[in-house]
Structure 1
Amino acid sequence: MSNDCKAITIICKALKEDVGAGDITTRGVVARSIVVQGKIIAKEAGVIAGLPVAEEVFRQVDKKIKFSSAVKDGTWVKKGEVIATLTGPAQGILTGERVALNFLQRLSGIATLTHSFVFRVSCLGSLARILDTRKTTPGLRELEKYAVRCGGGTNHRLGLYDAILIKDNHLAIAGGVQATVSRIKKEGWRRMKIEVEAKTLAQVKQAIALSVDRILLDNMNIKILREAVRLCQKAGIKTEASGGISLKNVARVAATGVDFISVGALTHSAKALDISLKVNAG
């Protein structure tokens, strides 16, 4: 993960939310002296992401818990495969179990869905890269974008501060493609690359004339998208397809020759991977 301090902050908030003043059930029925061994098992096939997060969860609960990953993040595992083992105080393992699994299941689900999109595109021999978006769970963006990378995807901008992307509402308020792009170029903005959204071929042509760095081709049908890509390639401008991208149509979108395909579903609609923890008395 790119920022361990941020990850630890997220983990501590999650533990505070779940554990609160203490795990009263575990304290009431499990003696402090009991030590157990556990296995974290993938109950369905998929790409694993979040093992370092799960390890940190248990470390925050009880530093005596020993966590050992059996695979690396980004690995495709089969149903029933052991992905990690742990040994330590039973109280700590039971207290950290749910939070650790929540992270693992969520992040592995994102990695698995991302892998599916990347696979569909790579089967064509296309070099189009699958991008995520800002449609992430509030507070979990760093982790969810990490999961996208584990699945073979590429991160788009992290936030509003690290890239210029002029969207439809910017255009509506600022007066259209020419006025908006001209204004931001005049302002300088640290000479950052400029990407502008286009919904029509007319907007594509306007953006090309202004020599932007990338054009986001939003919600275009395949015929129009193909023509937009052709125009941009002729001008030497990178293209990104977006809007309504699914596993059913991503191959057709990639076949147009687009450079990037952004998919909000990677983070807002990924199904959690089924993962469980089984313990045995040590």
Structure 2
Amino acid sequence: MMDLPIDHGCLEHLLPASWKTSVTAWLAEDTPSFDVGGFVVGSELRTATLWGKSSGILAGVPFFNEVFTQCGCTVEWHAREGSHVETHGGKKALATVTGPAHGLLEGERVALNILARCSGVATMSRRLLVNLRSAGYKGVLAGTRKTTPGFRLVEKYGMLDNHVWSRGSITQAVKAAKAAGGFSLKVEVEVQSEEEADEAIKAGADVVMLDNFSGEGVRVVSRSLKEKWKGERQFLLEVSGGLTEDNAESYICNDIDILSTSSIHQGVRHIDFSLKINVEQGQGPEVSS
């Protein structure tokens, strides 16, 4: 999780080469058969306004754009990816989408679902990060693998996970992972005690995750490990398990490099958006699914 918003044009470059096929699949899922609504509204060129209806961080612009690209439409943004949208209890125009009426209708629900979910995750992430920074934490805030099947790309784009499989002991697991992945592989080991952490570090783990430790336990163990292995081994310490917006500050300790929590992407409140086709002179009422 980055501290500052970055230009939305850069975010697309973080996505895997296959990401656009996911958008195609989401559109196919939403309209699996005849598009009766599209047939009714026809192909007349229309514009629609994307309205932000609740305050939060705008996120998911590349996905929103691609949905409408595949529906034969173009998007002009009036707000920046990563910026805070403040609606003050009303609504704010965020983008104009132009294209055939059936394309606007076809892409509307998929695009809004993606934007609402992605923006909700970004909003929760930003809020927790701000709280941690205010309390003095200088490390990294990260998500976990508790993501929605089929929608992980949206919830975690730009983030990387590393896995170590069970091989009977921590030392064997690290050696097997290094042998299989080569010199470039970063190995993370989840531990339940300081003794397990020592074994992982000695075996060459790059990241040691202290799982389900108390706040006080985190501070004691992390300081002990950093002092014990100073000058001998390079490794990152991560804390995970049970961290929420309400208790994360109790885990703050700058001997910890990464705080990871599913609370920034699992069960977060969505940000509310709507897309309304604009009514122009001589045209009928607005069309919306």
CA distance in 1, matches of 2:148, 2:85: 25
Report the CA distance between 1:106 and its aligned residue: 1.2
Matches for 1:191-230 after TM superposition, within 5 Å: 191=183, 192-230=185-223
Superposition CA RMSD, Å: 2.2
Say whether the 8 Å CA contact 1:181–1:210 is kept in structure 2.
yes
Query: Secondary structure of the residue that 2:99 maps to in structure 1?
Result: strand
Structure 1 residue aligned with 2:137, among 94, 113, 126?
Answer: 126
Say whether the 8 Å CA contact 2:128–2:245 is kept in structure 1.
yes
Structure 2 residue aligned with 1:251, among 245, 249, 256?
Answer: 249
Larger helix fraction of residues: 1
What is residue 68 of structure 2 aligned with on the other side? 58
What is residue 107 of structure 1 aligned with on the other side? 118
Q: TM-score, normalised by structure 2?
A: 0.81
Query: Secondary structure of the residue that 2:135 maps to in structure 1?
Result: coil
Q: Which amino acid aligns with 1:114?
A: S
The 4+ residue runs of structure 1 with deviation greater than 6 A are none
Structure 1 residue aligned with 2:32, among 1, 6, 20?
Answer: 20
Report the CA distance between 1:254 and its aligned residue: 2.1
Q: Which amino acid aligns with 1:12?
A: T
Matches for 1:170-185 after TM superposition, within 5 Å: 170=166, 174-184=167-177
Report the CA distance between 1:51 and its aligned residue: 1.8
Say whether the 8 Å CA contact 2:37–2:105 is kept in structure 1.
no
Say whether the 8 Å CA contact 1:201–1:224 is kept in structure 2.
no
CA distance in 1, matches of 2:172, 2:63: 46
Q: TM-score, normalised by structure 1?
A: 0.83
Structure 1 residue aligned with 2:46, among 30, 33, 36?
Answer: 36
CA distance in 2, matches of 1:198, 1:130: 19
Say whether the 8 Å CA contact 2:37–2:102 is kept in structure 1.
no
Say whether the 8 Å CA contact 1:42–1:275 is kept in structure 2.
yes
Query: Secondary structure of the residue that 1:268 maps to in structure 2?
Result: coil
Report the CA distance between 1:209 and its aligned residue: 3.6
CA distance in 2, matches of 1:212, 1:4: 27
Q: Where do 5+ consecutive residues of structure 1 fail to align?
A: 150-154, 158-162
| Residue 88 to residue 260, structure 1, CA distance change in 2 (3 Å) | same
Matches for 1:57-76 after TM superposition, within 5 Å: 57-62=67-72, 65-76=73-84
Alignment pair present for 1:233 and 2:226: yes
CA distance in 2, matches of 1:133, 1:74: 21
CA distance in 2, matches of 1:126, 1:83: 33
The percent identity for this pair of structures is: 30
| Residue 61 to residue 198, structure 1, CA distance change in 2 (3 Å) | same
Q: Which amino acid aligns with 2:170?
A: V
